[in-house]
Structure 1
Amino acid sequence: MNQFFDAIVIGAGQAGPSLAGRLTAAGMQVALVERKLVGGTCVNTGCIPTKTLVASAYAAHLARRSSEYGITIESPIKIDMKRVKARAETVSMNARQNVETWLRGMDGLTVIEGHARFEGPDVVRVGESLLKAPRIFINVGGRASVPDMPGIGTVDYLTNTSILKLEKVPRHLVVVGGSYIGLEFAQMYRRFGAQVTVVEMSPRLIAREDEDVSETVREILIDEGITVRTSATCIGFKPHADGVVVDVDCTSGEPSTVGSHVLLAVGRRPNTDDLGLEKAGVALDARGYIGVDDSLATNVSGIWAMGDCNGRGAFTHTSYNDYEIVAANLLDGEKRRVSDRISAYALYVDPPLGRVGMSETEARRMGRKLLVSKRPMTRVGRAIEKGETKGFMKVVADAETKQILGAAILGVGGDEAIHGILDMMNAGATYPVLKWAVPIHPTVSELIPTVLADLKPLN
């Protein structure tokens, strides 16, 4: 059966549904194809369920610290993992159903359940149906990467998706991968009561960050009883009566650790390997990401790629911005570009890390005169009042142009406070403008002008 549309959207993640809404509002007949769950990674296995779990873990952490606030709670506290899991599933399901209801009621949209595969540059097959359109938008997301590490095929392991199904707290969770996903689960399950070991090949955690950020995050985790093994040069796996033996290092420290459960958090890969892209002539890079230009168009006229599958961003907010760029260029006569986007993201350990723009290390590589300011959270009144003083705030600026180049807020409220700097950077304002702002007291954000006032030449 052949069906003809003005546009086809493959994938119902963050970018796809919103684009379908704009296209149908413009009078187009649109097909949206989804093979599994509406909402994509964020709604089903990413941001929404994991941050719901983080909230439960934070509640457990505060309960253990209650005496510090003059509150008495019976100790030890108990974790009902089935209820914790059910709460996360409910929040996720409600979000998914809201998206589904919106899509099903959208005039001009045909929602098709199934796996889409290209038959040509303007033809997509879903089961027995052939869909044809002059515009096709790919929004297929990504999944956990499982590298061919020694012994991986001989043991059971968890990914960021399957770990969400646990109804019991692991006795000992070994997290392989010391970056964003791995560290969030590591702290979360430590707070649920598991013994936790983090194994990372690099010399330090979250290696893309400045060394002071990495080291402070490491200290935060260690303070909570998490074992951190960096420079793990010989990672491998073997079955064990108590779970899994994880080989860690060939040169120093204990050579291996035995975990009841192993979480692989060693990166992501795009869902592009079963789309028939070769039949459409769409080019992929060496890692399987779809190549796109600054407008998110592929090398094939009439085909665009948005979200995690294009390698231009790995976050919900960048995926949504991909939709905004495509819609603005196609429907509003604008010339929006991915390269205009200022990088910003957060690491949701507690306290969280909010990041925008360049790190200090990246700024140094520019070879320009820099200004840097750093303030520990122990000097932030809001953090002191809340009894959460770990971390620091840091800003890097260009000494000549006075533009803010980047910032890191690792501390209570850091994921929210960072937006004060992000907004100024997006507005193109210089740091003296923000320095003279009059923020609300008592907040974490009120210290941003103070930090800017302390900017000094980098040695």
Structure 2
Amino acid sequence: AAEALHQGAVASRFDGITANARMSDWRSLVTQKDALVSELRQAKYIDLLPSYNNIAYLEGAARLTPDGVTVNGGTFRSKKTIVATGSSVARPVIAGLDGVTPLTSETALALEELPRSLLVLGAGYIGCELAQMFARAGVAVTIVCRSRLLPETEPEISAALEGYFGDEGITVRSGVAYRAIRESEMGIALDLDDGGSPETIEAEQVLISTGRRPNSGELGLGEVGVEIAAGGAITVNDRLQTTNPDIYAAGDVTGR
């Protein structure tokens, strides 16, 4: 949808073409998105799993044991176990953050109304993608980051992307320190330190996109000999095998 809006906005770069696209009903778009996700989940998971006689699906808090897994008080024995519990949004350490209600990559697309302005904290690929999407939907977006855009890429890529974002009206404040965040009359106020110069930026909403943390807690990993690296990622080899040869891990929970 955001790409369709963008193509309408830039179509005039061709001689003889006049086009326009605008966000007219954000709530309807979100409803359509939710319906599509629900339809795909139903077709690809809920309806599909019962057709496999050798797969049993259970929901509950799981914990690893030397013999397998316990779920909801029941024990399921297995010779091999795969941990694929994903990751959750990691909240940065910013004074006052507990006193505000920030958006995340998991809640931003559930908004019933578009904010007039948005601060995006963090400039990894998720933060950049969401910043561009909201900007194309008509929101005044400012990205604030301690390093630079896409810090894991080459500096030339960061510089080029910052130029493209500028062309789309996205403000980028890179290389700054977060001092504090609080509620304000506009919505949210973020205090920055830009090389010793204090500054405050305000917006209606703030979106936290400063990384993710592996969901490895409460699984009893240490009790079964599974090593956890700094930050909570499960240590695996090139075959996704953990330090317990009978337990494997895959996906975000490995930090990869």
Q: Which residue of 2 aligns with 1:112?
A: 58
Shift of 1:195: 0.5
**Counterparts of 2:93 and 2:220, CA distance in 1:** 24
Q: How does 1:86-125 map to 2 (within 5 A)?
A: 86-97=31-42, 98-118=44-64, 120-125=65-70
Q: Which residue of 2 aligns with 1:360?
A: none
Q: Are 1:160 and 2:105 an aligned pair?
A: yes
Q: How does 1:237-386 map to 2 (within 5 A)?
A: 237-251=181-195, 255-311=199-255, 313=256
Residue range with higher mean Cα deviation, 123-132 or 168-177:
123-132
**Counterparts of 2:22 and 2:138, CA distance in 1:** 10
**Counterparts of 2:198 and 2:139, CA distance in 1:** 20
Residues 61 and 280 of structure 1: CA distance in aligned 2, closer, same or farther (over 3 Å) = same
CA RMSD of aligned residues (A): 1.8
Residue identity opposite 1:289 in structure 2: A
Higher Rg of the two aligned structures: 1
Q: Which residue of 2 aligns with 1:150?
A: 95
**Counterparts of 2:193 and 2:24, CA distance in 1:** 33
Q: Which residue of 2 aligns with 1:129?
A: 74
Q: Which residue of 2 aligns with 1:321?
A: none
**Counterparts of 1:285 and 1:251, CA distance in 2:** 33
Shift of 1:126: 1.0
Give CA deviations for 1:46-79 in whole Å, capped at 9, x if unaligned.
Answer: xxxxxxxxxx111112222344444444x67343
Residue identity opposite 1:107 in structure 2: N
Residue range with higher mean Cα deviation, 209-218 or 123-132:
123-132
Of Structure 1 and Structure 2, the greater helix share is in 1
Shift of 1:258: 0.7
Instruction: Say whether the 8 Å CA contact 1:247–1:255 is kept in structure 2.
Output: yes
Residue identity opposite 2:116 in structure 1: R
Shift of 1:214: 0.8
Q: Are 1:230 and 2:174 an aligned pair?
A: yes
Instruction: Say whether the 8 Å CA contact 1:176–1:199 is kept in structure 2.
Output: yes
Where 2:193 maps in the other structure, the secondary structure is coil
Q: Are 1:219 and 2:163 an aligned pair?
A: yes
Give CA deviations for 1:84-105 in whole Å, capped at 9, x if unaligned.
Answer: 2122222322221122222121
**Counterparts of 1:223 and 1:65, CA distance in 2:** 11
Shift of 1:266: 0.4
TM-score w.r.t. the length of structure 1 is 0.53
Structure with the larger RCO, 1 or 2 (CA within 8 Å, 6+ apart): 2
Instruction: Say whether the 8 Å CA contact 2:5–2:21 is kept in structure 1.
Output: no
**Counterparts of 2:34 and 2:202, CA distance in 1:** 30
Q: Which residue of 1 aligns with 2:8?
A: 63
Shift of 1:298: 1.1
Shift of 1:251: 3.2
Residues 168 and 252 of structure 1: CA distance in aligned 2, closer, same or farther (over 3 Å) = farther
Q: Which residue of 2 aligns with 1:35?
A: none
Residue identity opposite 1:246 in structure 2: L
Give CA deviations for 1:282-336 in whole Å, capped at 9, x if unaligned.
Answer: 111111111112221111131111111112x2xxxxxxxxxxxxxxxxxxxxxxx
Residue identity opposite 2:101 in structure 1: D
Give CA deviations for 1:418-459 in whole Å, capped at 9, x if unaligned.
Answer: xxxxxxxxxxxxxxxxxxxxxxxxxxxxxxxxxxxxxxxxxx
How many residues align? The count is 254
Instruction: Say whether the 8 Å CA contact 2:8–2:21 is kept in structure 1.
Output: no
Residue range with higher mean Cα deviation, 256-265 or 206-215:
206-215
Residue identity opposite 1:121 in structure 2: P
Q: Unaligned regions of 5+ residues in structure 1, if any?
A: 1-55, 314-459
Q: Which residue of 2 aligns with 1:198?
A: 143
Residue identity opposite 2:221 in structure 1: L
**Counterparts of 1:170 and 1:276, CA distance in 2:** 42
Q: Unaligned regions of 5+ residues in structure 2, if any?
A: none
**Counterparts of 1:253 and 1:93, CA distance in 2:** 48
